[in-house]
Structure 1
């Protein structure tokens, strides 16, 4: 029988070799720059708060456009990173006629926006993943002077980058989802939350408020218990404002994710190039059968 097909000793596709040894690391640098740009928008999230204080920004929240209720909420607040450090709230609820509930948040007891903090934690993990991928370039440094690249090393790098890209894309997706999809809570969760203790004076016991992020908007939800035929339920209404930084962060997340996908696609192509061209015919023996 003939010897069939055998592996070659070198990576057969020069463009795939160039991508794995050079171009992929330039793409990783672009992803790293995008993640750092995202981090810079809220630097206090990932640094010692005594060393880096996020700039304070003032916002005015108005009734959400789709609200037709006679209940109203207004708020003027100061946002610093993931903290509402100051706020003045005015709430009017129909079931409390002739009463405007006024309360405030002071800097000594800020309101924590956990979505932004969680997103910052995912950004920190994304930064670690990119650095881990970039360190693979050091494995190639000793190989740069060779005429032919180390095939086994290129295969290792292609496989390892594929794993890291999957992990990085998952981290980026979760970080973005933190800002797009706030966790649902029960009315009891809102009434008993630690953040409610930041309000001074306290609201009536049947009323709760919640600040949360939804995309590029900061939302204020007011919840109040209502008795209906002996059963308790709750109603809610909203006020909102646009936070341009949140929109910029979401854009950075999307851009970084898309660049990761491009690397994944090219890794798949480079691997397929090797699989297709990785064999050669070595001839047939006298007993070959046609």
Structure 2
């Protein structure tokens, strides 16, 4: 019995020493690694070559499908220019519309994701190299807070807002073009994962004498033909949907950095949990 107790005490002493090393050394090594990765992610949002001062660099993205062709210019988290040609299916008419020169369209998803990355970096740098973590619970609390910000940043890019058609009509984007968009067109722009997406909805008015059962469509990222809604005094139906998209390479980089950072946080949490499970174990 004495030998067994001595072995248990020796084992416990070794584990305590390993746990102290984990708290004093490995945790800070992981925090440094996370800071380096997230600073790289943050640089992607400021765009390469833009520097810390002055306006963000402009990037042009070409959108092309059979029906829609155009160029969107992204400057940081805003669309600064849009030039779009739409071939109308019903009569092969070619429509051209572009942003007014005094207008920009803010992509809130990019701005929010960048803000969450900045908050995660702030949390990581709030403990300097000399800070001593006292308990595993303290580390777990920090990792949970960082992971929350990273998950929110990733979700803002991977989960576009589900909007109703009246919300799209009221968003203000349709009023940014010159010449003005025809009343039978709606436009929406959003981020989906690493892609910049442009959707053009063609509409037609439902006549009061229409025998169609009017059912307003709810919120969706992408509405389908046949979706109905009410706008002003009119009831409208989507007749055609044209979606074009292109990849934004630096958003792809950012998503990879988020995934790697979340994995590092989880690995550190798992190591802490191994020790926690030992301390809570009591032999009969």
Q: Shared fold (TM-score greater than 0.5)?
A: yes
2:218 is matched with none
Superposition TM-score, scaled by structure 1 size: 0.76
* Aligned counterparts, 1:192-207, within 5 A: 192-207=170-185
Matched residues in 2 for 1:60 and 1:165: separation?
40
Mapped contact 2:97–2:177 kept (Cα < 8 A): yes
Q: 1:111 to 1:198 in 2, by over 3 A?
A: same
2:161 and 2:131 mapped to 1: Cα distance? Answer: 42
Q: Which has the higher contact order (CA 8 A, sep 6+)?
A: 1
Counterpart Cα distance in 2 of 1:50 and 1:107: 25
1:12 deviates by: 4.8
Residue 80 of structure 1: CA displacement? 1.2
What is the CA-CA distance between 1:154 and the residue it aligns to? Answer: 2.5
Q: What SS does the aligned partner of 2:134 have?
A: helix
Structure 1 residue 11: deviation in Å? 8.6
**What secondary structure, in the 3-state scheme, does the structure 2 residue paired with 1:182 have?**
coil
Choose the corresponding residue for 2:60, options 47, 50, 58: 58
In the alignment, is residue 104 of structure 1 matched against residue 106 of structure 2?
no
State how far apart, in whole Å, the 1-side matches of 2:55 and 2:275 are.
44
Q: TM-score, normalised by structure 2?
A: 0.77
Q: Distance in 2 between matches of 1:261 and 1:242?
A: 29
CA contact (8 A) 1:101 1:203 kept: no
Report the Cα distance in structure 2 between the residues aligned to 1:123 and 1:139, rounded to whole angstroms.
Answer: 22
Cα RMSD, aligned residues only: 2.8
Q: CA deviation at 1:94?
A: 2.4
Q: Max radius of gyration: which structure? A: 1
Q: Please state how far the C-alpha of 1:53 moved relative to its aligned partner.
A: 3.0
Query: 1:219 touches 1:240 (CA, 8 Å); kept in 2?
Result: yes
The structural deviation recorded for 1:74 is 1.1
**Hey, what does 2:134 align to over in structure 1?**
154
Which structure 2 residues correspond to residues 1-290 of structure 1 after superposition, within 5 A? 12-43=15-46, 51-63=53-65, 72-95=67-90, 97-106=91-100, 108-132=102-126, 134-135=127-128, 137-140=129-132, 154-155=134-135, 158-227=136-205, 229=210, 231=214, 232-234=236-238, 235-276=240-281
Deviation per CA, 1:58-96, whole angstroms, max 9, x where unpaired? 111012xxxxxx7x111112211111111211112224x
TM superposition shift of 1:216: 1.5
1:163-221 deviations in Å (ceiling 9; x for gaps): 12112112111110111110011111111212222212111112111111111211110
